[in-house]
């Protein structure tokens, strides 16, 4: 299996502080990773490297076989191969565009020459991705009028439009109510278990948001890797407690996880 991501001793330093601190991490084709860590741990910074929008201050990062900052690496060729759904993206998108247009523009951004022949094919794809995310009844709604959950689902459909080899999701379930979260977890689970779906990396704060089908976990705290490896072994009470800095118990129920703080004196 080839490497989708290969970070070796990567640091990102700003104002003399390491936001990402000596991180070595590799993601192989087909793996589905969850990144867990408290607020400010450096999760989004790490995704910014994985999406080729941020270069490491030191160390080396290879994305889909291309070395960031390397001779012959063109980030503009690399970026369409990576799908990103995150808060920063949502803020950049025009609020008055319809849901269908919002997803379609991902394809426009990629095809330099616009041709009417592409239109029908692209629209069909956009509709199919939106359907997969339960958005068919919202195709003509303005993006700016969507609820948080609908917006998140639209962004994931949009990220799929370029047929990426790597899909990066930054807190896709943040701000959703319980029903919205469960619905999204179910859909992400289906995607994660689809052998034709891209390699995936999802950032979250909550183990409850880990969909079945995710295979690996990376835990970071203050920019440093605390644990990285298969979910079954690394998502332990011990690692999670170290990661969040308080005693926690992780439980596995069927194909889902929960975590809670240990009762005082317990
Ligand atoms: N451009 C920047 N310059 C300086 N500090 C930054 C910059 N971007 C993020 N940070 C800081 O880096 C730390 C990690 O941020 P981030 O990666 O967004 O964390 P997370 O996504 O885990 O919550 C935070 O303390 C944040 O304030
Ligand atoms: Mg973040």
- Looking at the CA of 170, name the nearest ligand: 2
- From ligand 2's centre to the CA of 115, what distance in Å? 37
| Range scoring the smallest mean pLDDT among 4-8, 119-123, 219-223, 225-229 | 119-123
- In angstroms, the CA 188 to CA 211 distance is 6
Task: Say what the pLDDT of residue 146 is.
Answer: 95
β-bridge partners, 25:
7
- In angstroms, the CA 34 to CA 204 distance is 7
Residue 193 DSSP class:
H
> What is the tens place of the pLDDT at every residue in 10-42?
999 999 999 999 999 999 999 999 999 999 999
Dmax over CA atoms of the chain, in Å, equals 68
- Looking at the CA of 43, name the nearest ligand: 1
- In contact, 25 and 201? CB cutoff 8 Å: no
For ligand 1, atom 24, name the residue with the nearest CA: 40
- Range 209-236 average pLDDT: 97
User: Ligand 1: residues whose CB is within 6 Å?
Assistant: 14-15, 19, 37, 39-45
Torsion region of 52: left, alpha or beta (phi above 0 gives left; psi -120 to 50 gives alpha): left
- In angstroms, the CA 28 to CA 203 distance is 17
Task: Say what the pLDDT of residue 69 is.
Answer: 87
Of 183, 189, 156, the C-alpha closest to 171 is: 156
For residue 170, the ligand 1 atom closest to its alpha carbon is: 21
Neighbours of 52 (CB within 10 A): 23
Arithmetic mean of pLDDT over the chain? 91
Which pair of tokens denotes residue 49? 């490297």
Measured between its terminal Cα atoms, the distance across the chain in Å is 45
- From ligand 1's centre to the CA of 12, what distance in Å? 10
For ligand 1, atom 27, name the residue with the nearest CA: 40
- In contact, 215 and 46? CB cutoff 8 Å: no
> What is the tens place of the pLDDT at every residue in 51-63?
999 999 999 999 9
- In angstroms, the CA 246 to CA 38 distance is 11
> What is the tens place of the pLDDT at every residue in 118-159?
678 889 999 999 999 999 999 999 999 999 889 999 999 999
Task: Say what the pLDDT of residue 93 is.
Answer: 87
Residue 79 reports pLDDT greater than 70:
yes
Q: In percent, how much of the chain has pLDDT > 90? A: 77
- From ligand 1's centre to the CA of 49, what distance in Å? 13
- From ligand 1's centre to the CA of 116, what distance in Å? 42
Q: How confident is the model at residue 113 (pLDDT cuts 50, 70, 90)?
A: very low
């Amino acid at each position: 299996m080839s490497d989708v991501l290969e970070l070796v001793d990567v640091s990102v330093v700003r104002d003399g502080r390491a936001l990402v601190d000596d991180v070595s991490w590799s993601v192989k084709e087909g793996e589905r990773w969850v990144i867990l860590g408290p607020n400010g741990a450096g999760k989004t910074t790490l995704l910014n490297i994985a999406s080729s929008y941020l270069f490491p201050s030191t160390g080396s990062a290879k994305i889909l076989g291309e070395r960031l900052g390397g001779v012959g690496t063109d980030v503009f060729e690399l970026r369409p191969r990576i799908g990103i759904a995150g808060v920063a993206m949502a803020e950049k998108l025009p609020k008055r565009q319809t849901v269908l247009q919002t997803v379609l523009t991902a394809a426009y951004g990629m095809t330099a020459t616009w041709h009417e022949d592409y239109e029908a094919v692209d629209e069909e794809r956009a509709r199919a991705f939106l359907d997969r995310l339960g958005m068919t009844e919202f195709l003509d709604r303005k993006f700016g009028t969507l609820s948080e959950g609908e917006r998140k689902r639209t962004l994931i459909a949009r990220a799929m439009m370029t047929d990426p080899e790597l899909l990066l999701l930054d807190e896709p379930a943040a701000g959703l109510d319980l029903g919205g979260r469960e619905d999204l977890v179910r859909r992400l689970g289906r995607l994660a278990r689809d052998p034709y779906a891209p390699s995936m990396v999802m950032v979250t704060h909550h183990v409850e948001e880990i969909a079945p089908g995710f295979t690996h976990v990376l835990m970071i705290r203050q920019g440093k890797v605390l644990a990285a490896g298969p979910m079954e072994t690394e998502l332990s009470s011990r690692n999670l407690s170290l990661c969040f800095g308080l005693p926690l118990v992780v439980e596995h129920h069927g194909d889902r996880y929960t975590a809670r703080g240990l009762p005082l004196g317990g």
